Structure 1
């Protein structure tokens, strides 16, 4: 049977193209926004029809949708809602950013999560929850938002050049909306295996209900199994299980796994039956996760004595031929850097790039930390390096730092990074770039992340430092008038237009 929504034009704007997901809460479609030139979006039709206007459900939907839209603008760990409405069939819908990625549910069923990856994902999810629980100001009042349906299928994991993996939470406020004005003790909506005892009882929920569901999910992320198992998948069976059955232990479920005791304690505390026995806020959960990330750093491996000299590639600012060479006078310094640089414990072992200054013999130097497959690093040691900076001051001051590593045989590796110029990190890194007129690229192999594999140096065009200083001053002066993501999107659009020109320029400059 064909889907009547496919091909439909919604609100004279969204052309429905493909069904991409279904669930208890509704159906999700990929669509294109024809008013914005066909930009892809995701449209979710809720499993609800607004027939009785006296119930005030339409006003309730609009308030919930507006609140969730504001929530997505406040945190990068929450999927952004960009539009909402009610279609001709009285079915509510909302329009979200379209993000190609995988659900956490898919990931944990395909592979075992390492401890660093578990900690990174859990921290990002908790940051999204913290933003929601703290509340969103709407029409002069602050509305705390409880998700009510925390589970792996509501977590979207997206490859991201800055984060490695960016985790976003879906469907904030939808469970509450779908309950409408019904008697909560008679109408349950949620996911049985993840629901807190008080949710099963139909009680008024607070942030600790989400913390319980997070505990169930974290147990599953670590072990691949559920902490609670009901004899049948019925409401009655799960009600009894959540009320009285103690959760299974890690030793019982996964005796061979090496899990930090602090992580075990955190998960089990989240699974407490009484909400007063759980962490009382998501901030408490975050503190433990951040402590675990800090202490879970890989041990540093000393450099090998027989390591060969590393090639430094210097960009000639006069656009003459770029010649890779080994800087003999700096070989000892480079060796020191290779031995001292250790991959930060709070970063995932993944193909990512991020800026972080390094203290080198008492001098602070700007650096771009890059993790790639080992074979790709070896292929690009003898390369040309290109850099460029793009800046936008409105709606939010943002700097795009572009680095390209190129050789003829293996092509170009683009390494973009967006610096929020309203943050201390953005301003400090930009200041160092202007002062030092060069930066290091610290290359780490994904297969051997404990130590730095190669160090490259990229010089900055002599005309750029003055501009960088001006951009810092402008960023301090200009206010932010909108979500930083809007500026990032504008810069990304310009960057995509520039990439073919940058590539052509690199191809025309030979060794």
Structure 2
């Protein structure tokens, strides 16, 4: 068998292709090394040469843009970091390299035990909720409907601090819902997982993905499909999705024992009419919460708390400190290296102790991100010892995303203090120092923390 001619190629003088990871209808995905960053592994997806028409080029670029915007907001969606066209005019995009198994491979080995099912389902719902909340398109926020939710489009990887992490892949046929655009008018998707309205070519919204999620949830628990088509054809699956009631979990797997309320939730996701399903992924998350609390021992805060009641009072904060104010008071610590790093450190001001992240970047990058959108997330990991992963993303359309990550050890007084300050203040400062001139603070930004996240931070200290 001839070797792949792409192996060994170098794209943009940085991405060296080292192996084929897989291929599908849209194209091939390669493992690569980013030579400019010390050989960091990445994945590169090429559009198939048989699809090099303008419509497919546009769709491919839209997939890359969608994943780039969503991936920076949710760790449960594959993150795209670069896009380009090679010397043969074939478009490609670069994404994070994920090592793990697809959910379909996991299910083929055996159905998921209930705790694992609950953990992965919640993560998938978090990713879906992020997509359904939308991305900015021409100045407006437009929801994204995936349209092809199925086990082979979910990759389960393992993180040393957070355990199993589910990632939604393949937004190649995702639909951006814009008020002034034509909606879905033809069938696209996978027959066995498509909603009734999707097969009819109707306008779709988040509830179509909820139906596909219901099919997948049923399969995750039983190893079987809730519906069986008389023929594996469009007509056969059309009749099944429209006319056939889903079988019970016990019919599919007689040895399975799950709470009746959980089966009711799955069956509601499989309702033929969109109005009879949960209306959002967040609604599914809320209904999963009691089962998580019961069946997952030591569930981490990010999973267990979910949408807690608003118990933390909202307090008015004092005016933010300016760059000049902090710049006069702080310089880069002598015991920290000069390089692209970030670390947590409280600062003492006349407003009291304030939580902050100190960040060192090049002067040019600091300047390019003076006006940027800021996102944050806090993820609690109970093992091997309690810690908090503090993620901050700085995003501009031109410069892309810059990820800043810090760990807070909740067994130490320092980690507990910072977590408490974050919970109480509802915001934190980002102090930027230029590598070229570390003696003074070059810029200061404020990142606010959502109320629900403040509650989770407070809970993590209990």
Indicate the TM-score class for this superposition, using the shorter chain for normalisation.
0.5 to 0.7
SS of corresponding position for 1:477: strand
Cα distance, 1:217 vs structure 2:
0.3
Cα distance, 1:281 vs structure 2:
1.1
1:240-277 deviations in whole A, cap 9, x for unaligned?
Answer: 22121111111211122111111101111111111111
Q: Which stretch shows the higher mean deviation, 271-280 or 236-245?
A: 236-245
Answering whether residue 165 of structure 2 is matched by residue 166 of structure 1, we say yes
Give 1:30's aligned residue: 31
Q: Aligned runs of 1:130-149 on 2, under 5 Å? A: 130-149=129-148
Give 1:275's aligned residue: 274
Q: Distance in 1 between matches of 2:380 and 2:207?
A: 41
In structure 2, relative to structure 1, the CA distance for the partners of 1:281 and 1:149 (3 Å cut) is same
Give 2:110's aligned residue: 111
TM-score, scaled to structure 2: 0.65
Cα distance, 1:45 vs structure 2:
2.0
Cα distance, 1:170 vs structure 2:
1.0
Q: Distance in 2 between matches of 1:214 and 1:99?
A: 22
Q: Aligned runs of 1:191-202 on 2, under 5 Å? A: 191-202=190-201
In structure 2, relative to structure 1, the CA distance for the partners of 1:173 and 1:401 (3 Å cut) is closer
CA contact (8 A) 1:390 1:401 kept: no
Count of residue pairs the alignment pairs up: 351
**Matching residue within 433, 436, 452 for 2:412:** 433
Answering whether residue 419 of structure 2 is matched by residue 477 of structure 1, we say no
Give 1:340's aligned residue: none
Cα distance, 1:147 vs structure 2:
0.9
Give 1:257's aligned residue: 256
CA contact (8 A) 2:173 2:188 kept: no
CA contact (8 A) 1:146 1:206 kept: yes
Give 1:151's aligned residue: 150
Q: Which stretch shows the higher mean deviation, 139-148 or 21-30?
A: 21-30
1:157-213 deviations in whole A, cap 9, x for unaligned?
Answer: 111233221111112354459xxx999655x43211111111112222211111000
SS of corresponding position for 2:237: helix
CA contact (8 A) 1:25 1:174 kept: no
Q: Distance in 1 between matches of 2:380 and 2:259?
A: 37
1:373-403 deviations in whole A, cap 9, x for unaligned?
Answer: xxxxxxxxxxxxxxxx964724599999999
5+ long unaligned stretches in structure 1: 298-342, 349-388, 404-412, 440-464, 485-511
CA contact (8 A) 2:154 2:167 kept: yes
Cα distance, 1:296 vs structure 2:
2.8
Q: Which stretch shows the higher mean deviation, 16-25 or 69-78?
A: 16-25
Q: Aligned runs of 1:43-192 on 2, under 5 Å? A: 43-47=44-48, 51-53=52-54, 58=57, 61-176=60-175, 188-192=187-191
Give 2:390's aligned residue: 420
Cα distance, 1:52 vs structure 2:
5.0
Q: Distance in 2 between matches of 1:246 and 1:196?
A: 13
In structure 2, relative to structure 1, the CA distance for the partners of 1:471 and 1:235 (3 Å cut) is closer
Give 1:246's aligned residue: 245
Give 2:4's aligned residue: 3
Q: Distance in 2 between matches of 1:131 and 1:398?
A: 13
What RMSD over aligned residues (CA atoms) do the two structures have, in Å? 4.1
In structure 2, relative to structure 1, the CA distance for the partners of 1:401 and 1:264 (3 Å cut) is closer
Give 1:288's aligned residue: 287
CA contact (8 A) 2:145 2:174 kept: no
Cα distance, 1:223 vs structure 2:
0.4
Q: Distance in 2 between matches of 1:122 and 1:155?
A: 10
SS of corresponding position for 2:215: helix
